[in-house]
Structure 1
Amino acid sequence: MRKLTRPLLFLLACLVWAACSSTKSLKPGQILYTGAEVKINPDSSGKIDNEKQVKTDLEAKTRPRPNKSILGIKYKLGIYNLAGEPKKPKGFRNWLRRQGEPPVLLNDVKLKYNNDVLSSYLISEGYLQATVTGDTVIKEKKGKAIYTAVTGQRYKINKINFPPDTGVLTKIINANKDKTLLKVGDYYDIDTYKNERIRIDNDLKENGYFYFSPDYLIMQVDSTIGKNLVNVSVKVKDIAPDAGLKPYTIKNINIYPNYSLRRDSTLRKLKPLQYNDFNIYDDRNTFKPRLFDRLVFFQKGEPYNRKDHNQSLNRMVNVGAFQDVRAEFLPVDSFKNNQLDLNIYLTPLKKNSLTFSVTGTSKSNNFVGSEVKVTQTTRNLFRNAEQLDLSVSGGFETQTKGTSLGKNSLSLTAEGKLTFPRFIVPFYKPNSTNAFIPKTIASLSYQMLNRGSEYTLHAFKGQYGYNFKENLYKEHNFNPISISYVSTSFPSDSVERKIYEQNPLLRTTLESQFIIGSNYNFTYTNQMEDSRRNNTYFFGGLETGGNVWGLFTPKDENGQRSIFNRPLTQFIRVEADLRDYYKITRNLIWANRLNLGYGYAYGNSTSLPFVKQFFAGGSNDIRAFPARTLGPGTYKVPDDAIFADQGGDIKLMLNSELRFKIVSVLYGALFVDAGNIWLRKEDLGEPGKPETARLGSGFKLKNAFNELAVGTGAGLRVDVSIFVVRLDVAFPVRKPYLPEGQRWVFDDIAFGNKDWRKQNLIFNIGIGYPF
């Protein structure tokens, strides 16, 4: 560790020195540009609203931008200077120089251009009398630009006039004027005017005005009325073309389901299949005609509207059967009448495809390894855009931490999944009309996990359910039928079998299980909106086991409800995961997560089945503790335990992480994790065997926060968009299993102590961000 630290510290020192001496590489007469400063109304006592934010916005609009810096250190310029002038066209110096930035010079600043840009921005914000003048200040070899903005008073809207009702078009505009974005008393704002034009255009597009454009509208502003007020008049331009001023209806709907440029002329000569309002040109009968009832929302004779246009395109794209989708609206008889022909060109994906993948795996239980997977995909199986996926995979894993260090496992998985692009509900035909395709998914899988001489696990799972996106942000998954069967076998004479028979926790974990239930998940996210300062993600899940089947399954002689001689597992499990991502700057994000879980077992079961329990610790959890070794409660698994995985019925976890860009695709993070798991009831062990008890494992609300574990650390991430490789190092600062009053361990931190590092430093390698 020391051998690696010294070169890194030396490199960092060189970089800081190069950055701090940023002007030494300048040629005579060159001045380093350090940035812009805006002063607003400096000679006036009057202040404008939100002055600090306006100042920030104005400074951000100046060009050029100075060299990038962190804490005042121009690190990019430092890298550039550290590399020096390369003597060869290739090599390390060239690479290092490309990672940096050449100096931004003061003579690159165009004052007049920036004056005009800043003045224009202030005018667009309602400061109609604003003026900006710029100057430069030089000190030694550094210089900055200072812009003085005299804003004057900000104008407000006094009155809004819409065009008089002289026809159908103006009647539509007036009928929706109560939805206007222009409000009396609001400040003049050019962005609001642009958005108002788009709003009116949307209203007209919904009423057939296919060729209308926001550019055909003008907002005339009269600022001469005095008292810093303006009157706004909305008008249709006199030069707007006739085609944009009349509504259009749909005449013919022509669909080409198996289209290609090579067959274009052949397809157009075909006699179409007449189905409802559609003319289908397909001599190969690629798709059943009724599929298009769910994909195309237009009908013959109805006015064009943008909603049907967008929903049709979205559905045809999201159905997953086409590699290219194109909708063409053509005027009938060259604009002489008010009709449009709709031509839909669809190019199908290949019916069959075979994919082969090799992946690296990093799991929360510290198993790392690789997996080979082959998937056969058959599309349009029943000519209704169905998709069948058959996959077989095999993998090898080894455990890198924990009591099972060096243990290996082999896995073999086979899975079949059939997806229908519609709801299939017995005795009911739901009709979904939004832009997203509802899906019915049936799946069946088998997995074999072999842990060498320890045990072999066989898991079967069958599921039938529905996936539905309510809109761009909300997604629902409901599986009314979910069946899982897990069976474990041991070598008859193995040491592991004897341990299994003597260890009640291990028996509970690896016993055969039969779970029949249902589950529902809801997801909300707006992370796709990069323009937001704050993004949110929420996941909520509800899962039940044995509830309905338990009503019809009689009890056996032992008082248990069984199916196929296996006890029926009965439980209710809920989980919520809330995440928030706040952009402090473009390359600095503060990410937070709150994860809560609760499980209630009843009937045959005293606790959640092991595969449904909550766990704490690991690379995506509380990173200062090895995977699945934390808790439950204040219980600590013995260091010599054969089986370390500790599950619980209740979970509380909080994570906070500051993410920042270092250079190129390399990112860093500083984080704090806190949380724990608990059993709903204290584990008192087997009767007569107090050594099997897990004291302190039960949940009590008044003690919960006092039993939280806390860890902190730092990480590096290589983020190339399509995948993220992550390395985190963490250490505990609060250990819940220590006596009260001794759980905070700040005083014990000793990075220079080898034994402390061995016992406390936890390295986590992961794929993707932890949350």
Structure 2
Amino acid sequence: MKLQLFKISITIVVFALISSCDAVKRVSESDYLLTDNTVVINDKKDNSETIANLISQKPNRKILGVPLRLHLYNTARPNIDSILQVKVYDNAKKMAWKTKVLSRKQLEKDIATRKGFNSWLKRTGEAPVIWEEEKTRKSVTRLQNYHINNGWFDVTASYTATPADDKRIKIQYEVNTGPAFIIDSITKKIESPLVELLYEATQKDALVKTGAQYRTVDFEQERNRISTELRNRGLFRFGQEHVSFEIDTIGTNKKVNVGVLISNQIITNPDTTITKPFKIFKVDKVNIYTDDTFATRDLPYQNTLTYNGYHLYSHGKMRYRPKAITDAVFIAPKTIFRDIDRTRSYRYLNELRTFKYPEIKYVAETDSSLIANVYLTPLKKFSLGFSAEVSQSNIQSVGLALNPSLQIRNIFRGAETFEISAITSVGASKDKNNIDDPFFDINEYGIDLRLRIPRLFSPFNTDKIIPKYMSPSTRISLSTTSQTNIGLDRQTFTGNFNYNWSPSNKITNNLDLFNVQYVRNLNVENYFRVYENSYNSLNTIAKEVNYIPSDADLGIPEETNIFLDYALNDPTPNEINSDQLSTLTSINERKNRLTENNLIFSTSFGLTRDVRTNLFDEDFSIFRFRLELAGNMLSNASKLLGLEKDENDRYEIFNVAFSQYVKTEFDYIKHWDLGKKNILAMRTYAGIAIPYGNSTNIPFSKSFFAGGANDNRAWTAYSLGPGSSESRNEFNEANFKLALGIEQRFNLFEDLNAAIFIDAGNIWNVLDDVEDDKATFTSLDALKDIAIGSGFGLRYDFSFFVFRFDIGFKTYDPSYTELNRWFRDYNFSNAVYNIGINYPF
């Protein structure tokens, strides 16, 4: 109680200090501090970001209604040098006393510190916003122009300034729009019959339409659309300057009559200026210079060849197969000029990662034919990389890692990129299992091979299904790693054959034709040393049933395995009750699952739809879908070959039971830009993996977990669920997951932002071999076990990344009884502190 009273007292004192700060302390008698802007449009207050951005002068920013940065600025001395000169240097008594206590050097250092702190207060704070009438008039003009540009031609705008006796002033802007003007008729006046014909072919996609409200931006976009469409239909010399609009509103009763004007091209000579109708240009010839540099551009080319009408040139030996280069160039000889072909060529050539700064130039050969010159400057064939890392974790006291890599470009003369990288790391474990081990008793080493082919590598012609403008590519990778003295010790092997293509700039498709993963555990005897919670539960039951004395512990691994065999024998020993048997069965099933070797042979398809226009777009959505099928091919092969099953009724390949399952995931992210750096972000996620055939459960690497900095932030990773079970496992996972996150982000000042959030979700077992009712999803009633966390956080934007700190509180914890789940652990002592890079979603 005393602690609570102390906290309340401190809060009251701090609030009183802030309230007592004089916001107009640095405002002169003839000036006013701008404290509020209000915009009223048609007698209704408007707080939208669009309108707020039109106001030239805004009040000092506030946090929780208090202009903290203004108060911080006001605590700084405006003329610190003069004050120090009078109070210290010109005061003989004070100077004598200070130089007696401090040396001259210490005194100067102290004064420099005070100056520096004063400067920091000014930089961190915010100077008072002094009202300027000129800026207010400018805001009125901007409000008028905005509404005129959006169809309210009869708009009127004014402002009212309300000064107070305490040197503060409030501004209210009043806007009356009148009725909006609507586009009534659209006529065209096109000087060239050819251009008129091409224009009519694109008119169905026009952005300026009858019945729509007049908006200036629509006309700007329509001008750009017409120019783009006509240039993609062969009009090489056409530009936006040839398109204009006539707007008629006189005597139209709030209607707008629009005239579309498209002029002929204007040719200016030294003596005359003439107009000529536009002509459709054809690309007569395409020249590709495969090893162009500024130094060699004027030198003769030693090698030339023609492939499918393309002319390829090189100063030395031709490094590339012609098809690999011509496939990347969308400009085809003997075809009509299209501006989009150059754009696509640039994108595809850049995606080859073989050339730097490709350049494409058109040269007019006649008044209707072009020559396209493509200049390519190759990157170096070999590229070396090297990185080193020093780390520390809850497993190791210190770790060292080295990652050398070698990249080979154009390895098969088809613009392919091959990369080989290695990993070598050593570390010192915090808890040595063997005291005789050397200091660096943890090690990992591996190799990763990756080949990227800039097309679909297939025996079939896929151009009609996936055209090259979709930037198709093939990725083939092989990797293997070996870890020792980390957990169970393991060797892994993975192989992947992947297709990737983008039907549009918003959609990306990804197809793993096959993905092979093999995991071999080398030190299964170490299981109960790694999973200490399981061991503690096992050890406790052994003492409860008097299998071992109360002052003894089960030895690892012999005694733990013997006790499990004894306890799970049929019939069950009399001293073991049903609850204990259930716990022991769960421990044994989990042990067998996590120590068995895994073989996964899968095929998957993923789709991503991202409507972001750029990295700074804060009003967008992202949808991701993934479907994975594993084990079907191996299952069919096992049946055809008549392979025998093991004691668990499973087929084995190389003495390993392969996994068979279907897994699907849905992920949807939506951001709403509420203005003034205020963002509402939401994420919904659902995933399920169903074992069948050769499997009764999902491999650990393919299962779902809950909690963590990017999930439910009130729980640490792997600590939540499954369901309402009170699991004490180090890593809780299951094969079904639901998640929902909502986050409100807002700016505090400068690059420091804050957020409040609510996270909900959980994991369950479904349609697998887990029988615990608390951990399984058997009906919609299981939704009552969705955990809810809430909290707040700070984020600092470094431009190239965001540093994030979040505090999550357990708001609704399903591990407690149903009558005691809300706010049971809603306090700082049970909170989870998360540190992350970039936003959680």
TM > 0.5: yes
**Which residue pairs with 2:765 in the alignment?**
679
Tell me whether 270-279 or 152-161 shows the greater mean CA deviation: 270-279
**1:21 and 2:22 equivalent?**
yes
**1:81 and 2:74 equivalent?**
yes
1:93-112 aligned at under 5 Å gives the runs: 93-107=118-132, 109-112=134-137
**Which residue pairs with 1:715 in the alignment?**
793
Say if 1:732 and 1:244 are closer, same or farther in 2 by CA, change over 3 A: farther
Say if 1:381 and 1:500 are closer, same or farther in 2 by CA, change over 3 A: farther
**Which amino acid in structure 2 is aligned with residue 99 of structure 1?**
T
Quote how far apart the aligned CAs of 1:12 are. 11
Quote how far apart the aligned CAs of 1:360 are. 8.0
**Which residue pairs with 1:314 in the alignment?**
347
Report SS of the residue matched to 2:819: coil
Larger radius of gyration: 2
Say if 1:30 and 1:761 are closer, same or farther in 2 by CA, change over 3 A: same
Preserved contact between residue 16 and residue 78 of structure 1 (Cα < 8 Å): no
**Which amino acid in structure 2 is aligned with residue 110 of structure 1?**
K
Uncovered stretches (5+) of structure 1, i.e. residues with no partner: 43-50, 402-406, 685-692, 752-756
**Which residue pairs with 1:199 in the alignment?**
225
Aligned length: 728
Say if 1:743 and 1:648 are closer, same or farther in 2 by CA, change over 3 A: same
Preserved contact between residue 15 and residue 82 of structure 1 (Cα < 8 Å): no
Choose the corresponding residue for 2:751, options 662, 665, 668.
665
**Which residue pairs with 1:68 in the alignment?**
61
The separation in 2 between residues aligned to 1:54 and 1:672, in whole angstroms, is 26
Choose the corresponding residue for 2:674, options 575, 578, 584.
584
The separation in 2 between residues aligned to 1:442 and 1:574, in whole angstroms, is 23
1:512-527 aligned at under 5 Å gives the runs: 512-527=597-612
Preserved contact between residue 288 and residue 375 of structure 2 (Cα < 8 Å): yes
**Which amino acid in structure 2 is aligned with residue 440 of structure 1?**
T
Preserved contact between residue 310 and residue 326 of structure 2 (Cα < 8 Å): no
Deviation by residue 1:297-335 (Cα, 9 ceiling, x = unmatched): 2222322112212211211122222221221122236xx
Say if 1:24 and 1:262 are closer, same or farther in 2 by CA, change over 3 A: same
**Which residue pairs with 1:687 in the alignment?**
none
Say if 1:91 and 1:153 are closer, same or farther in 2 by CA, change over 3 A: same
Preserved contact between residue 27 and residue 130 of structure 2 (Cα < 8 Å): no
Say if 1:590 and 1:58 are closer, same or farther in 2 by CA, change over 3 A: closer
Report SS of the residue matched to 1:94: helix
Preserved contact between residue 190 and residue 262 of structure 2 (Cα < 8 Å): no
TM-score w.r.t. the length of structure 1 is 0.86
Choose the corresponding residue for 1:232, options 229, 248, 258.
258
**1:768 and 2:838 equivalent?**
yes
Quote how far apart the aligned CAs of 1:206 are. 1.4
Deviation by residue 1:708-732 (Cα, 9 ceiling, x = unmatched): 1222222233332333333322221
Say if 1:656 and 1:719 are closer, same or farther in 2 by CA, change over 3 A: same
The separation in 1 between residues aligned to 2:128 and 2:68, in whole angstroms, is 11
**Which amino acid in structure 2 is aligned with residue 318 of structure 1?**
E
Quote how far apart the aligned CAs of 1:340 are. 2.4
**Which residue pairs with 2:386 in the alignment?**
356
**Which amino acid in structure 2 is aligned with residue 217 of structure 1?**
V
Quote how far apart the aligned CAs of 1:447 are. 2.1
1:5-154 aligned at under 5 Å gives the runs: 13=14, 17=18, 21-40=22-41, 57-85=50-78, 87=81, 91-107=116-132, 109-134=134-159, 136-140=161-165, 141-154=167-180
The separation in 2 between residues aligned to 1:368 and 1:528, in whole angstroms, is 43
Quote how far apart the aligned CAs of 1:367 are. 12
Preserved contact between residue 213 and residue 244 of structure 1 (Cα < 8 Å): no
**1:280 and 2:312 equivalent?**
yes
**Which residue pairs with 1:378 in the alignment?**
408
**Which residue pairs with 2:645 in the alignment?**
556
Preserved contact between residue 646 and residue 652 of structure 2 (Cα < 8 Å): no
Deviation by residue 1:202-248 (Cα, 9 ceiling, x = unmatched): 22111222222222222111212332222111112478444783332
**Which amino acid in structure 2 is aligned with residue 651 of structure 1?**
K
**Which amino acid in structure 1 is aligned with residue 323 of structure 2?**
R
Quote how far apart the aligned CAs of 1:649 are. 1.5
Choose the corresponding residue for 2:595, options 510, 520, 523.
510
**1:605 and 2:635 equivalent?**
no
**Which amino acid in structure 1 is aligned with residue 803 of structure 2?**
V
**Which amino acid in structure 1 is aligned with residue 786 of structure 2?**
L
Report SS of the residue matched to 1:581: strand
The structure with the greater share of residues assigned to helix is 2
Quote how far apart the aligned CAs of 1:10 are. 9.2
Report SS of the residue matched to 2:730: coil
Choose the corresponding residue for 1:540, options 610, 625, 630.
625
Preserved contact between residue 216 and residue 240 of structure 1 (Cα < 8 Å): no
Quote how far apart the aligned CAs of 1:697 are. 1.7
Quote how far apart the aligned CAs of 1:385 are. 1.2
**Which amino acid in structure 2 is aligned with residue 128 of structure 1?**
F
Quote how far apart the aligned CAs of 1:343 are. 1.7
Preserved contact between residue 659 and residue 669 of structure 1 (Cα < 8 Å): yes
% identical equivalent positions:
27
Choose the corresponding residue for 1:448, options 482, 491, 494.
482
Preserved contact between residue 274 and residue 280 of structure 1 (Cα < 8 Å): yes
The separation in 1 between residues aligned to 2:835 and 2:398, in whole angstroms, is 9
Say if 1:113 and 1:740 are closer, same or farther in 2 by CA, change over 3 A: closer
1:201-216 aligned at under 5 Å gives the runs: 201-216=227-242
Quote how far apart the aligned CAs of 1:387 are. 0.8
**Which residue pairs with 1:488 in the alignment?**
521
Say if 1:458 and 1:430 are closer, same or farther in 2 by CA, change over 3 A: same
The separation in 2 between residues aligned to 1:610 and 1:55, in whole angstroms, is 49
The separation in 2 between residues aligned to 1:174 and 1:522, in whole angstroms, is 36
Report SS of the residue matched to 2:299: helix
Preserved contact between residue 524 and residue 595 of structure 2 (Cα < 8 Å): no
Choose the corresponding residue for 2:472, options 429, 438, 449.
438
What do you get for the CA RMSD once the two structures are aligned?
Answer: 3.5
Say if 1:557 and 1:743 are closer, same or farther in 2 by CA, change over 3 A: closer
The separation in 1 between residues aligned to 2:123 and 2:332, in whole angstroms, is 58
The separation in 2 between residues aligned to 1:30 and 1:399, in whole angstroms, is 67
Report SS of the residue matched to 1:273: strand
Quote how far apart the aligned CAs of 1:483 are. 1.1
Say if 1:230 and 1:398 are closer, same or farther in 2 by CA, change over 3 A: farther
Preserved contact between residue 518 and residue 543 of structure 1 (Cα < 8 Å): yes
Choose the corresponding residue for 1:182, options 208, 232, 240.
208
**1:616 and 2:706 equivalent?**
yes
TM-score w.r.t. the length of structure 2 is 0.79
